[in-house]
Amino acid sequence: MDLFGNDAPTLEFDQPVPYDTYVHASTLHSLQQTLSDDPGEMSFLMISQIMELYFGLVHYELRQAQRAVDADDVQGALGPLRRTELHLDGLNTAWNGLRWMTPSDFNRFREQLGDGSGFQSAMYRHLEFALGLKSDSVIRPFRRQPEVHAALERGLREPSLWDSVTALLARRGFAGDGLVEAWVRVYADDDALRRLGEALTEVAQRFGDWRYQHLQAVRRTMGAKAGTGGSAGLVWLERSMAKTVFPELWTARTFM
């Protein structure tokens, strides 16, 4: 509001609209390039892109938390982990935008994907690596993209958040324990590290929720068909879900 009581927003600019300059909204909205005439493809494409953005955001927050852990700043790690929980809630909610899709709906544009598959998401692999889920084989599809492949190789070699948390426990006097026993002791005796453990548990649970919803979405739209990227589809997803995030933190609960 100015001195004369006017509260209208600024409507004239000498340069491009500042909001677009900052958010790059026009660029974002130019990236949905469907390959079929089926209107459902737009939902599939845009929600896939939304999930990619969330993968990047979650990965960013996990690395922020890891830097705090590496600096022995347990309190400082809780903020990015809390944000990670909320971002994962948003990521999980994104699945609702595809619940309309039946097998016949998907089949109308599925062939446009060719060999494309979510299995080939480099940012999702970075997210898995940050959580401690590492495998050499998953970066093989990127060998013909040298920069992407090199970044994934670095992600494989670098300590994960879980590695950093394990090192923190050792520095705090739990080096002589097995990791499960260490967490049992933490929950009994160390309130600050217990809060860290609970924040990590929330992240792991929400990430598990996303994996489960992915499985359900595939089951709903494809049944047991082979995946578009040549994987075993449903079977491959079920197998990957068996790899637990922060496994000792879950096992420790049995002994608390």
CA distances from 154 to 26, 171, 203 (A): 33, 25, 23
pLDDT for the residue 228: 61
Write out the residue range of the structural domain in which residue 191 sits. Answer: 38-255
50 belongs to a structural domain? yes
167 belongs to a structural domain? yes
13 belongs to a structural domain? no
pLDDT for the residue 4: 54
**Which residue matches tokens 């994962």?**
88
pLDDT for the residue 3: 55
12 belongs to a structural domain? no
pLDDT for the residue 237: 84
Rg (C-alpha) for the chain, rounded Å, is 22
Residue of 224, 237, 217 whose CA lies nearest to 99: 217
pTM over 0.85: yes
Residue 8 binned pLDDT confidence (cut-offs 50, 70, 90): confident
238 belongs to a structural domain? yes
pLDDT for the residue 227: 60
DSSP line for the chain: --TTS--PPP---SSS-HHHHHH-HHHHTT----SSS-THHHHHHHHHHHHHHHHHHHHHHHHHHHHHHHTT-HHHHHHHHHHHHHHHHHHHHGGGGGTT--HHHHHTTGGGGTT--GGG-HHHHHHHHHHT---GGGGGGGTTSHHHHHHHHHHHHSPPHHHHHHHHHIIIIITTS-HHHHHHHHHHH-HHHHHHHHHHHHHHHHHHHHHHHHHHHHHHHHTTPPPTTSS-THHHHHHHHTS-SSHHHHHGGGG-
Could you report the per-residue pLDDT of 100-111, keeping only the tens digit for each?
A: 999 999 999 999
Greater pLDDT, 18 or 60: 60
Distance CA 218, CA 241 (A): 14
Could you report the per-residue pLDDT of 60-93, keeping only the tens digit for each?
A: 999 999 999 999 999 999 999 999 999 999 999 9
User: Is the alpha carbon torsion for 136, 142, 145, 147 positive or negative?
Assistant: negative
State the total domains in the chain. Answer: 1
pLDDT for the residue 1: 47
User: What is the CATH number for 179?
Assistant: 1.20.58.480
Could you report the per-residue pLDDT of 171-189, keeping only the tens digit for each?
A: 999 987 899 999 999 999 9
171 belongs to a structural domain? yes
182 belongs to a structural domain? yes
144 belongs to a structural domain? yes
Could you report the per-residue pLDDT of 197-252, keeping only the tens digit for each?
A: 999 999 999 999 999 999 999 989 988 776 665 566 688 788 888 899 999 999 99
pLDDT for the residue 103: 94
Could you report the per-residue pLDDT of 121-175, keeping only the tens digit for each?
A: 999 999 999 999 999 999 999 999 999 999 999 999 999 999 999 999 999 999 8
